[in-house]
Structure 1
């Protein structure tokens, strides 16, 4: 029998090799480049402008809602089936599959929230060169050109998007390998025009076998490919576009770069140890959504494919393009900029949604209509989270909790990493270090605080472990290519990997969170899913073998979905344990399209370096653009030890990012907020307290994200889409429309320059109330206490200034309204209140109010008269920025009571402060300034 050291060898070697190297940097040799990924290399070698694909117009069928048309590859006579749909909300869907595949090809399930509703299509014209269809809205047409096949979406005289305009459509048909016993004995008798899915490998294709078509080796790992080559690819041209965004997760700038001289951006969920910055390498998440923007329009491309995917981006000039007899139109001059994008996936089908905007908000709405909106989180999860790998034991947890009280720093959640378990067996507690978890959880609950404990998807192979025994007995583990349970190495040593793609497995997993199953758990214990790419220490590229099996499907078909399913099952478990009453909070590392419906994400194993602080901004902005608003980065950096200056600046930045958690590696020195001297403790305290004062605004923003799909943290161009100065900015951001944040992310900074947008806008410094005009680069001197944040003139933001030990302790506390007047002396804003943690808001148990200031009257009106909720909170102060001094202020309440209010006016700053107006936060009222 193997010794412990022998059994743990791969794990120890993997991590010790990394940690002891002293470099604390990613070993890029562990991960493939495009040239080392056979299908990427093959597809990228296709010559532009020589497309073999032709549309067979005689096969066209058009119904009210769908166009079908066969395409043929003139080189090998393979026929494909194209389907085109016009979807509600200005979306066009294009699907391309083999006409008669040898076996079904994988189509991604569970990501779309429903089968998208369609709108009518109609034929405008047809001749031997192609077809023109009306898309109905706004004079939009689809032009299908026959030879070579090409698809253009046109609105008026503008080409919005072209497919296969560069001739890079590639579709590797499924086939039988000639040199195996699987070959079809009848193949030689088949007609050449038969779908070659039924035809053996050609001589030309046989010669490519060594290029990884049927087998591929990377380092010591061999990937058997029983289905042979199956890659799909398609190019898209975007005339007039120079800026594209999205396809997270990458540690790169917000504006995506051209990839002509390097690797494409890779989408393949991987456990990348301290990732390299400004690199198109794959990271933990893969969301195959790209947004394109110029001053006239925003569009989006959603490539629904869960296999390994590479995305090439090139900058081009749109030349003159003529669409023959079908369109009397010549596109622009040769000076028109253009971005060309090419998507390449290893398997599956082409299923792409073209979201045609035209505004950023409409693209967000279009994508949300397909994959859903951000889950509405519990209010407490928007507070501060304290974590490290690992708090040692219950006494350590108690001491850290007490430290926050002693230093008057609020927090809501304390976290436990893998060491809290009994030997890395998830759903358990170390019997010595965490002998009475309920006592620990009750102590937190008494202070209205909560805990998160990690539950990873790798399961220790141990016959004394109930979870393992049940998964194995039910046959729920992923299988290897030979049909046995797949095993890999992770934290517990030898581990099995549950097949979360199975609904019955997810249902069983959800059941494990029940209080009578997860011993020691209570209602204030929430969950963190790490390592769910999945991470396999001894696997190819530190992940699962692609030829592992999920039933009849290979892992290669659905790799990027695995983490999505893990988070789905976990979130469902937290919902079910409360009888469907309580909203879950689940943090995940691996994400896919639709993950926004399930909880929060963080940017993985970053480092205590200034550049990692800076990159957290574009990384979260990119995730927000594709629906995942609840994003954050490990405050202070996971690896290495931050200087006190870096730690303070990271707290100041993290306080204004959606998910606010400090986290640190096992081998780093402790860094609780009070360990860096009293001056730095005070600076961190102030940053965290600022976060808590804005919780009403954060909660309102997340409610809007849940309702609309609009990002909470957003690039400036989303709100100022016609201002080119905003298009590439990623060192500052907006929270909603009304807060502009420019964190200090440079070591030793004495000042920052913030761009304030909006020709007719004014912006108020939230700390000094200084007023600044829009459309300027404002230099801001900074000290260590500075967090440059500005409130937009024309907005009203509710805050709670009585900061307590946790968000729940502030539930009934009063509000202060910050009214920032615009140049027209008007402003508006909202307030959203519910119980903060249940699904009762779906039963319309909430308060949603609109505040408006116009003609010197400030009012509060009910936006949802049929909603019912009560609050004990009231309005204790109103601060009006950019005000004039009134002679008196009169408050009229809903019962027609009138009161004169006391106020102070600072003439030097034009700030009016109205004290103790005393209205209930859920009441109607008007306040007149005379």
Structure 2
């Protein structure tokens, strides 16, 4: 009798019994009698790689996603043969390999099952394309939740969802639409208060099913390539995310101006329009650091050219904008116009740098310039050539950043909106078809762009932004979420996408504020800017066909709200820069969903709206029209309402009343929040004080402030300033201790300390064990005092 399961997998093949095994340092090989080999590699005690082949040998081991500079090492590795299974032990987990069928189960050191195969690895031969469709199915535990997967525009918790990974130009996408622009085949599972991660490093079209088809089964599969995945053990979600981020790499610190506010539109031209927009920002005193030029700045949409009609003297214009504090960012697409008089086309043609069809000719497709050929960015020689093309833009004209678009790759007027499957790629010496290279094409373009901009911007740091990305792209580039829509649904989606991208290793991301397609109302734009200033990348962008979408397009009230929140972002730049430093150094996500912040609290597992910005600021956007308040959930701890300084105990739901010019923002009790004065652009002001907002707590809390020259690479030579503040509050006293690392001397000499919600009247102040006159501290009725920045201990004693 044939079971349903056998019918379901009729074309599938399965590993048979193990006939031999051997160990080679950190790798254990298991061979079955039907030619399957499983290679298990222990990278860390909590990071294990599983790699299967059905051919009896492994192909060349190559990945664009893995950061080759990361360090590996483990404390324990022991392999024990039992009667029915092999046991692989590290200091964090046990892995059992079933002798009969190669099925895997992974347990913590107490023997609790974290993850186990259902059918496990199986495959189906692909007669159409060659190779295998590779599949994996796992058991799902009761109450299990799933997170991650990049830019999916759906509920943060993926339980019950099926998702697809195929980088796709999805103009005006909608909620739950699959697939989108990014490919991050990494998820986090959470059950019984234990978190783990799975990264399926396969660049073919992949699918993940989180108990959608079958209630207690999680599965993932690919239309080719290897079954090659990494298992990451927590048990904290933070451990999983950090380990995955180390595995796929972290960016270098961006220049601080990139964390300011950016303005973009398709398209600002001619030069007079660009100057009109930038002048208006300065006139209205809405801070702004970057202005973007879309495809119309080029001559007939040809990359690396300038329109003589619209921008006759780009070098002069870019210099004049820079004098007023604006950095110029320009778009560069992958499509190179087929034009015998166009120098970029001539060079690539002569060197054979374009992608070819299977039977020889260069792949041809229509994009903005008309018929184009496309460079093969998977060829290192092509990347090197592409990097060199940026010399004029960056070092001669003075452009400060480059924006890569249409790099899914997107092609017009063809059914799949991309290259045909038979297009060939070099894949760094591992030749393949577009089926394998498609999902990493955009990342390799961004990589080549990054290498060029970095070379010619030196000694300053580069800035790249990409629309399409695969795991690991964060090493080279920031990103945005693509062509969204001016709708309340998309405001909700933007909030979800940013949290999801943050815990998927790609922290430097934002959405098009206000929506790219269609026209937002003033209310929607205001609510979006209130959310967008708390996203790592903060840019308004719109398509030009529906009218204006600058902050002044919606009347005075919206101008004032925009200014208020953009000014708040500029005040918080040292806090945001510190967040970024922690992301770069420790792999800590800059935005933290509530479940990441407190996985033990089951109430957080399905929360989507609230998130932690950095470590100590809780943000809850208003996502509905006509709302002057909302219900929200405060996680564990005590939180101060940013607007009222009222203290509220966490782990509960509550109604928060807000005005149109506010959203619920809370500060963690005991936090010390650094603030700069409001500037119209980064570096505009020299100032002598750094403000520290100190939120009283009965107990201890640590806060950090990282600073450096805000650009350049001296921070790699120790020229940075890292201040760690330890706050210790008692009933009638407050002690703040400061520990400083690094040799960088900040431009300011003093701290202006705002003591928030102090429960006692200040009677005496001691700095480094010396009593200080209250008059000299400029103590006022608001409990503000000014003191020299390099104190070691501040002791405030109450009456």
Secondary structure, aligned partner of 2:138: strand
1:63 Cα offset (Å): 3.5
Q: Distance in 2 between matches of 1:456 and 1:439?
A: 24
Q: Distance in 1 between matches of 2:157 and 2:462?
A: 33
1:291 to 169, 181, 188: 188
1:862 Cα offset (Å): 3.2
Q: Would the aligned equivalents of 2:12 and 2:123 in 1 still touch at CA under 8 Å?
A: no
Q: Distance in 1 between matches of 2:287 and 2:490?
A: 25
Matched residue, 1:433: 310
Matched residue, 1:869: 744
Q: Distance in 2 between matches of 1:253 and 1:45?
A: 33
Secondary structure, aligned partner of 1:414: strand
Q: Distance in 1 between matches of 2:231 and 2:652?
A: 35
Q: Distance in 1 between matches of 2:48 and 2:59?
A: 24
Q: Distance in 1 between matches of 2:397 and 2:669?
A: 47
The answer to whether 1:839 aligns with 2:721 is no
2:210 to 286, 290, 313: 313
Could you list the runs of 5+ residues in structure 1 that have no partner in the other structure? 1-43, 175-212, 215-224, 318-337, 906-911
Secondary structure, aligned partner of 1:82: strand
Q: Distance in 2 between matches of 1:253 and 1:458?
A: 35
Matched residue, 2:606: 728
Distance 1:789 1:577, change over 3 A: same
TM-score (structure 2 length as normaliser) = 0.94
Matched residue, 1:814: 689
Distance 1:424 1:441, change over 3 A: same
Q: Distance in 1 between matches of 2:10 and 2:750?
A: 66
The answer to whether 1:87 aligns with 2:43 is yes
Distance 1:315 1:674, change over 3 A: closer
- 1:30-69 counterparts in 2 under 5 A? 47=8, 52-69=13-30
Matched residue, 1:325: none
Q: Distance in 2 between matches of 1:241 and 1:497?
A: 47
- Higher radius of gyration, 1 or 2: 1
Secondary structure, aligned partner of 2:622: coil
1:534 to 405, 409, 415: 409
Q: Would the aligned equivalents of 2:22 and 2:28 in 1 still touch at CA under 8 Å?
A: yes
Matched residue, 1:653: 531
- 1:235-254 counterparts in 2 under 5 A? 235-254=137-156
The answer to whether 1:738 aligns with 2:635 is no
Distance 1:857 1:885, change over 3 A: closer
Matched residue, 2:475: 597
Q: Distance in 2 between matches of 1:382 and 1:289?
A: 27
The answer to whether 1:914 aligns with 2:792 is no
TM-score (structure 1 length as normaliser) = 0.81
1:414 to 291, 294, 314: 291
1:70 Cα offset (Å): 1.8
The answer to whether 1:888 aligns with 2:763 is yes
1:526 Cα offset (Å): 0.9
1:271 to 166, 169, 185: 169
Matched residue, 2:198: 301
Q: Distance in 2 between matches of 1:290 and 1:268?
A: 16
1:678 to 539, 546, 556: 556
1:113 to 63, 68, 83: 68
1:876 Cα offset (Å): 4.7
Distance 1:607 1:52, change over 3 A: closer
Q: Deviations over 1:603-637 (max 9, x none)?
A: 11001100001111111111111111111110110
1:790 Cα offset (Å): 0.4
Q: Would the aligned equivalents of 2:694 and 2:754 in 1 still touch at CA under 8 Å?
A: yes
1:371 Cα offset (Å): 1.0
Q: Would the aligned equivalents of 1:243 and 1:293 in 2 still touch at CA under 8 Å?
A: yes
1:169 Cα offset (Å): 2.7
Secondary structure, aligned partner of 1:888: strand
1:782 Cα offset (Å): 2.1
The answer to whether 1:464 aligns with 2:341 is yes
The answer to whether 1:154 aligns with 2:107 is yes
- 1:294-693 counterparts in 2 under 5 A? 294=191, 296-314=193-211, 339-515=216-392, 521-522=397-398, 524-551=399-426, 552-579=431-458, 581-693=459-571
Q: Distance in 2 between matches of 1:466 and 1:478?
A: 18
Q: Distance in 1 between matches of 2:340 and 2:613?
A: 50
Could you list the runs of 5+ residues in structure 2 that have no partner in the other structure? none
Matched residue, 1:130: 85
Q: Deviations over 1:40-86 (max 9, x none)?
A: xxxx99736998534443221124422111235xxxx5x22110011
Which has the higher mean CA deviation after the structures are superposed, 531-540 or 586-595?
A: 531-540
Which has the higher mean CA deviation after the structures are superposed, 635-644 or 448-457?
A: 448-457
1:583 Cα offset (Å): 1.5
Q: Deviations over 1:273-331 (max 9, x none)?
A: 2112123x1100000100112352111000001111111121799xxxxxxxxxxxxxx
